[in-house]
Amino acid sequence: MSDEIRYHDLGYGITCIDTQLYRSGLAACYLIEHDGMVGFVDTGTNNSVSILQEVLRRKGIANEKVNYIMPTHVHLDHAGASGKLMQEFPEATLLAHPRAARHLADPTKLMQGSQAVYGEKAFKKMFGKLIPVAVERIQEATDGFELDFNGRKLLFIDTPGHARHHYCIYDEQSSGLFTGDTFGASYPELNLGRRRFIFPPTTPVQFDPDAWLETIDKLMELSPARVFITHFGMLEGVEGLAKLLRQAIRDYAAIAQEFASSENRCKRISECILQDSINYLLDQHCGADVATIRHLISFDMELNAQGLDYWLTTQNVT
C-alpha cells in the first residue's frame, strides 16, 4: 500500500477514492456528496479506513456527517471495512442487499469463506478482523428500493451473476451506475489501446453466467451514460463496454466447460484465460509488455479460475 492518498473529483458530487488494495489503481470506493448528505459506495478493507477518513478531513467533513455506507456486496474488497466504518461514523446507516445483511451483522461465515480462498495468513494481512454491524443500524435495500438522498434519487437494483448478494445503484443526477463487480473490472494501465480491456470477476463461489447476462440487459435498460466500477474508476461508452463484457462472460463459461474433464482443470483454466487476455491486450496495442500484463492480472485470473472451477462443480459439468 502506498502512503500517498489518491482521490479525484469526477463531477456530480462524486469522488473516486483509491483504497490501495495491494497496489494503486486496483480498487476504489466512491464518496457521494449532495446538499449536506454524505455516503460511501463500497468500503475497501479495514486497511482503507484511514484513507477514507483522511479524504473526509481534507474535505472538511466530520465523521458524524456521514449518513450512509453502501457496500455493493459482501466480498471483502467491497465490504470488509463496513463494521469499522460504522464504528467511526456514529450517525450512519448501512444499506445492505437482503442476502448480505446477515453476513454484515455476523461476519463469521464470511471470514471463514474468505480464509479458504486467500489462506489464513494472507487474509489477516489483507483484511484484518471483521467487525460486526449492529442489526438495528442495517437497512435492507431490496430490488427497486429508492433512497432519497436529500432530493437526489438513488435506485437500488438486484444484480446477480457475480454474486447473489450484489446490488448496483443508479444515480439519476450523474446518469451513472455504481456497479461493484457487476460491470466487470477494467484497469487504467491496460486501457491505452484501441479498445478497452474489461473482464468479469468470476471469483468464488456464486458465478452464474446466465443470471449475469440478464443483469447486464437489466442495467442497460436504464441507458446509463457512465459506470463507476470498483476495479477501477469511471468509464463511459457504456454500450460498447456491455458488449465486450457479455462476450467475455460467454467466453469464460465456454473455456471452463472445455477443461471440465481435464486434470488440474483449475490451473488449466487459469492459464487459458490469462493467455487469452494477454493475446487480446497485445493485439489492441495496450502499451504494456507481457511481463507487465502478467503482473497486473495474473492474480485476478487465478481467482477467476477458482470461481469457474467451482461453477463447473455445481453444474455437474464433466
Question: Which tens digits make up the pLDDT trace of 212-236?
Answer: 999 999 999 999 999 999 999 999 9
Residues 46 and 194 in one domain: no
Residues 167 and 193 in one domain: yes
Q: Where residue 218 sits, what CATH number does that domain have?
A: 3.60.15.10
Q: Which domain holds residue 33?
A: 1-96+99-140
Residues 125 and 149 in one domain: no
pTM score, whole prediction = 0.94
pLDDT level of residue 241 (50, 70, 90 thresholds): very high
- Domain end point (choices 83, 117, 140): 140
Residues 113 and 20 in one domain: yes
- Domain end point (choices 83, 115, 140): 140
Residues 166 and 23 in one domain: no
Residues 75 and 214 in one domain: no
Q: Say whether pLDDT at 318 is over 90.
A: no
Question: Which tens digits make up the pLDDT trace of 15-61?
Answer: 999 999 888 889 999 999 999 999 999 999 999 999 999 999 999 99
Question: Which tens digits make up the pLDDT trace of 77-113?
Answer: 999 999 999 999 999 999 999 999 999 999 998 888 7
- Per DSSP bridges, beta strands 138-140 and 93-96 are parallel
CA dist., res. 133 & res. 87, Å (int): 8
- Domain end point (choices 85, 112, 140): 140
Q: Say whether pLDDT at 2 is over 70.
A: no
Domain count, the chain: 2
**Mean predicted confidence (pLDDT) in 110-137:** 87
Residues 106 and 170 in one domain: no
CA dist., res. 149 & res. 34, Å (int): 7
Question: Which tens digits make up the pLDDT trace of 262-275?
Answer: 999 999 999 999 99
Q: Locate 33 and state its grid cell.
A: 456528496
In percent, how much of the chain has pLDDT > 70?
A: 98
Q: In which residue are the cell numbers 446509463 written?
A: 224
Determine the pLDDT at residue 317: 55
Residues 309 and 169 in one domain: yes
Q: Say whether pLDDT at 117 is over 80.
A: no
CA dist., res. 250 & res. 45, Å (int): 31
DSSP secondary structure of the chain: --SS--EEEEETTEEEEE--SSSTTS-EEEEEEETTEEEEE----GGGHHHHHHHHHHHT--GGG--EEE-SSSSHHHHTTHHHHHHH-TT-EEEE-TTTHHHHH-THHHHHHHHHHH-HHHHHHHH----PPPGGGEEE--TT-EEESSS-EEEEEE--SS-TT-EEEEETTTTEEEEETTT-B--GGG--SSS---B----TT---HHHHHHHHHHHHTT--SEEEETTTEEEE-HHHHHHHHHHHHHHHHHHHHHTTTSTTHHHHHHHHHHHHHHHHHHHTT-S--HHHHHHHHHHHHHHHHHHHHHHHHHHT--
Residues 112 and 28 in one domain: yes
Ramachandran region, residue 296 (left: φ > 0; alpha: ψ -120 to 50; beta: rest): alpha
> Between residues 101 and 116, which one has the greater pLDDT?
101
Q: Locate 87 and state its grid cell.
A: 464504528
Q: Using alpha carbons, select from 281, 159, 287, 140 the residue that is nearest to residue 216.
A: 159
pLDDT level of residue 3 (50, 70, 90 thresholds): low
Residues 312 and 226 in one domain: yes
Residues 200 and 132 in one domain: no
Residues 121 and 258 in one domain: no
Q: CB neighbours (10 Å) of residue 283?
A: 11
